[in-house]
Structure 1
Amino acid sequence: MARLDLGFPGAAVDIPPFDHENAGLDEAATLNARFSNLSSREIVERALFDLFPGRIALVSSFGAESAVLLHVVASVDRTVPVVFIDTQRLFPETLAYRDTLIDRLGLTNVRTVAPDPAALAEKDRYKALWMTDADQCCHIRKTEPLTRALAGFDAWFTGRKRFQAATRAEIQFFELDGARIKVNPLVSWSSAELKSYLAEQDLPRHPLVAQGYPSIGCQPCTSKVKPGEDERAGRWRGLDKTECGIHLGESDGSGI
């Protein structure tokens, strides 16, 4: 049971642990009501040590802004499981950046997950599925691998922020996602705050950011962003698509 220090000698009260197993459908709302006044680091600490000890992973794309959340979590616990989905269509720079951040942050439990070879052979043998059915391509290369990777976890950290897209404008610190809880520690951060944090902590930037890619996914479905465009305008350009599916409840429990 955690202890809350009220700020003067002898004044501390016990805080009962949150009962994830019996919280039910109102769990996310309860967590937001209880913890929404905390800082991003405090949210991470509560999730790791009080709410889901040993049962939470961080899912990271190792993309343009990923270093921020990875740094916040690593500053609390470098052994947290980090799930990285190698869709096998990523930029080489992303794979190199992953290795750079693992070394820089001292991450000790990064788990790289790949698509099922049988599914690729059946549905995307020629690596052209993204041209005819982008949603299905995301499903077999991202959503399904993540579903497998999250087996055994009750919750997972994401790096989503409200400013990124209209579909993310209302997200909270905690969200119910099937049988799991998504924890979004950076939900209220602005683009300027992210850049300031990266500079203050002297964190390496994804090499493609300087080349005009402020949001980075798979190589075929990511393009440069023109001045004045939304930062995610280069994702699935020309398609009526803004999410890969792992944040739309399409995994059983996914993006990043």
Structure 2
Amino acid sequence: MQPPEDITARRLNARFGAAPAEAALAVALDRYEGRIALVSSFGAEAAVLLHMLSRIDPSVPVLLLDTRLLFPETLAYQQELSAHLGLRQVRRITPDERADPDRSLHRRDSTACCALRKVAPLQAALKGFDAVITGRKRFQTGQRAAMARFEHDGMRLKINPLADWTAQQIAAYFETYALPRHPLVAQGFPLIGCAPCTSRVADGEESRAGRWRGEARQECGIHFGPDGKVERAG
């Protein structure tokens, strides 16, 4: 027998899996009012989902994983975009750095660094929330290609309103609503993570080539475990 949470995700997918992104987001916000948060990197594409949220309920908590290794431009963009959209509850989630006081772990083991600076802080921050909204899209990585709009990770419902969106739709939305861009996009960074593990992408390279360059990984671990399956907290 399927757990009740999995049945909920399946039923929501049946009804809203192909609905417009705004409709899926609105359903989730209504169903989990007071128990839902949005996780955002405030990266290159983040403004689209944050704009949708601001038009429905700008008081919903928005969690930014401030790893202490972010580009200064990202922190400045977070403030600019939050003010532009009127977001009322942006929370910076920071890691316990006692295991990496000199911030050099990424040079020895980038996966362990992500676990310390992203996975553990996010799991702690999401306690008390029954649902979480992400900006993931199927086109981004192979691991996301079959991602459902609604899924359950063993602890809470995960909503991916933009799951079926294309890069072209993202670009068009930016233009339609004149959303401010992350300043590093114009400098050759189509995707933006932590500064030590993000590099410029040359013409002809795949957009994720600048993330963990030279490593055989595509995910930081907050959504998928090392086996490529949905991360099951705890």
Q: So what's the TM-score if we normalise by structure 1?
A: 0.86
Deviation at 1:148, TM superposition (A): 1.0
Deviation at 1:24, TM superposition (A): 3.4
State whether structure 2 residue 52 is matched by structure 1 residue 72: yes
Q: Give yes or no for contact 1:146–1:251 (8 Å, CA) kept in 2.
A: no
AA at the equivalent of 1:154: D
Note the 1:161-240 alignment, pairs <5 A. 161-240=137-216
AA at the equivalent of 2:34: G
State whether structure 2 residue 33 is matched by structure 1 residue 53: yes
Gaps of 5+ in 2: 225-229
Give the SS at the match of 1:162: coil
Determine the C-alpha separation between the residues in 2 that align with 1:221 and 1:206: 17
Deviation at 1:250, TM superposition (A): 4.1
Q: Deviations over 1:70-91 (max 9, x none)?
A: 0011111110110111000000
Give the SS at the match of 1:216: coil
Determine the C-alpha separation between the residues in 1 that align with 2:148 and 2:193: 23
The residue that corresponds to 1:88 in the other structure is: 68
State whether structure 2 residue 3 is matched by structure 1 residue 27: no
* Aligned residue among 24, 34, 37 for 2:18: 37
Deviation at 1:34, TM superposition (A): 2.1
Larger mean CA deviation between 92-101 and 226-235 belongs to 226-235
* Aligned residue among 75, 88, 106 for 1:108: 88
Give the SS at the match of 2:203: coil
Q: Give yes or no for contact 2:5–2:152 (8 Å, CA) kept in 1.
A: no
The residue that corresponds to 1:143 in the other structure is: 119
State whether structure 2 residue 102 is matched by structure 1 residue 126: yes
AA at the equivalent of 2:146: E
Give the SS at the match of 1:185: coil
The residue that corresponds to 2:227 in the other structure is: none
Number of matched pairs? 227
Determine the C-alpha separation between the residues in 1 that align with 2:87 and 2:144: 28
Determine the C-alpha separation between the residues in 2 that align with 1:82 and 1:224: 27
Determine the C-alpha separation between the residues in 2 that align with 1:251 and 1:36: 22
Q: Deviations over 1:44-96 (max 9, x none)?
A: 110011x2121110000000000000001111111011011100000000000
Determine the C-alpha separation between the residues in 1 that align with 2:205 and 2:198: 14
**Between the two proteins, what is the percent identity of the paired residues?**
52
* Aligned residue among 43, 46, 69 for 1:63: 43
Q: Give yes or no for contact 1:147–1:251 (8 Å, CA) kept in 2.
A: no
Q: Give yes or no for contact 2:155–2:232 (8 Å, CA) kept in 1.
A: no
Q: Which of 1 and 2 has greater Rg?
A: 1
Determine the C-alpha separation between the residues in 2 that align with 1:31 and 1:237: 37
The residue that corresponds to 1:243 in the other structure is: 219
Q: So what's the TM-score if we normalise by structure 2?
A: 0.93
Deviation at 1:106, TM superposition (A): 0.2
Determine the C-alpha separation between the residues in 1 that align with 2:191 and 2:205: 12
Determine the C-alpha separation between the residues in 1 that align with 2:104 and 2:205: 27
